Amino acid sequence: MIVTLVFFAGLMSVAAWWLVRQGLGTKPWLQAQPAAELVATGRPSLPTAKMGLGVFLAVAGLLLSLIISAYVMRMDMADWQPRPVPRLLWANTGVLVFSSAALHWASVAARRGNRPGVQDGLLAGGITALLFLVGQALAWRQLAVAGYRPATNPAEAFFYLITAVHGLHVLGGLVALGRAGTRLQAGASMVKLRAGVELCATYWHFLLLAWVSLFALLAYAPSVTWFVALCSAPFR
């Protein structure tokens, strides 16, 4: 559970840093304010939807780190049999990088009020994300044809689980992207559009970051056994 705890500690330090800035040391019983000197709420300056996405990403990140934890714990056992990694995953990673870049482009365009730019960015991002999913499905097929099925071995089971969970997150993102696209088609105001596109871009960067971490784990994880050994050394 080391991975989960490290991620959790990260979240907690962000929360602690934020809480400390909220005046947790103030003595509210001494501060009955008449109307003129009303204190501000100390509300964060982030828009509500962005805050919502941030909280969601923290939850999704913890979900992935729990799966990684489970994977690492299982891998640490003596009978672990590694499984080949389809080369296709490299191509898929490239596609997802492009997808993420396209959405970043869309969000920059939205900030500048460039409507055609937003449209191109969303379209490129959406199509490449779909392509990524097709690529992942092909990778599954390659593995299955080579005889590595979910029930063959825990290593395969984890591979299918991890890629499926990530793929579901991509699918969810595509729904949001589709909504932003429909809004664009309906001629929504640039202000609303910008909010939606920026959320999509943030989410796509998260998807990319998550995938790169997961891919590194799936492809190269055995090389970190020294790290596991180091962390568990005090308890041996």
Q: Give the residues lining the site for another protein (CB under 8 A).
A: 1, 4-5, 8, 11-12, 15, 19, 22-35, 38-44, 46-48, 51-52, 55-56, 58-59, 62-63, 66-67, 70, 73-74, 77, 79, 110-115, 150-151, 153-154, 157-158, 160-161, 189-192, 194-195, 234-235
Residue 19 or 171 having the CB closest to another protein: 19
Per-residue buried b or exposed e for 149-160, using 16+ beta carbons within 10 Å of the residue's own CB: ebeebbbbbbbb
Least Å distance, CB 97 to another protein, is 27
Nearer to another protein, 60 or 208 (CB): 60
Virtual CA dihedral for 198, 199, 203, 209, nearest 10 degrees? 40
Question: Which string of b and e fits 168-199 if b means at least 16 CB within 10 Å?
Answer: ebbeebbeebeebbebbeeeeebeebbbbbbb
Instruction: Find tokens 């690529």 and name the residue.
Output: 135
Closest CB to another protein among residues 14, 216: 14
CB of 100 to another protein, least distance (A): 22
Q: Which is nearer to another protein, 20 or 87 (CB)?
A: 20
